[in-house]
Amino acid sequence: MTEVHTPDGGNVVTTRIDGPVTVATINRPAKANALSNAVIDALDALADAVEQAAATGDTRVLVITGAGEKAFSAGADISNLVGLSASGARQQMLRGQRVFDRIAALPVAVIAAVNGVAFGGGLELAMACDMRVAAPHARLGQPEITLANIPGWGGTQRLPRLVGRGVASEMILTGSPIDAQRALAIGLVNAVAEDCVTAALQLAGVIATRSRHAIKAAKAAIRAGLRGGIEYGLQVEAAAVAELCQTAEQHEAVRAFLDRKAARA
């Protein structure tokens, strides 16, 4: 297992690589892993590195978590928002949205190991991931309305798509956090586990055995349908199946399946 840093030259986000699985850790435990401008820059650099590794098949799954046991991320670093003009605030939001959208669009599976509080931008980052595994003590919420504002890094869009309009409206309009068990019940997280990082890595291990081309295609088809509607999504799905049917990986997998079936006959 190799320890490396994201290419920003700092250590606000560190990564370790274990075969086809990369684990990225937001490394500001003293600040509850708040998402400062430097962290957003590091996540952008992380997306660059993962895209490059995915192109060669070196990475198939990315796991994102927070340092320590208290916080995945408590959200945006408020000190970076003080005194912003309307134009500055808009640009700050667009930058965060762009980086989180890059993470959502990565050609690898992305799993958030929510090891503690995930508030505001922290929850928005987790929702940009494909799946979420939470620790039992985790709390999740969009508290921006308590500061007379609203989520700005995708929360008003991704949360309703995950849990439905009613529950999302409740969370956004009250600002009240929910615990891990309610998050599981409403589908905001996939699982709750005492050691959420280990559980996320186990899930990553299963996915990492799958075809990298199929992982990329499945993500693209899901994303296309959510963004462009079911008819467009179906077209993307059909085109992806047609393309995958021409790959050596798919041919080998089908042959292996038929051989196993013949052996059992």
- Residues noted as catalytic: 124, 144
With H, G, I as helix, E, B as strand and everything else as coil, classify residue 117: strand
Beta-carbon contacts of 230 under 8 Å, excluding residues fewer than 6 positions away, are: none
Rounded distance between C-alpha atoms, residue 179 and residue 112, angstroms: 16
- Angle of helix 155-163 relative to helix 121-128, nearest 10 degrees, comes to 60
Residues written for the chain:
265
Amino acid 9 reads: G
Q: Whose CA is closest to 75, among 5, 124, 41, 130?
A: 124
Amino acid 198 reads: T
CA angle 195, 116, 81 (to 5 degrees): 150
Q: Are strands 21-26 and 13-18 parallel, antiparallel or unpaired?
A: antiparallel
Rounded distance between C-alpha atoms, residue 135 and residue 187, angstroms: 15
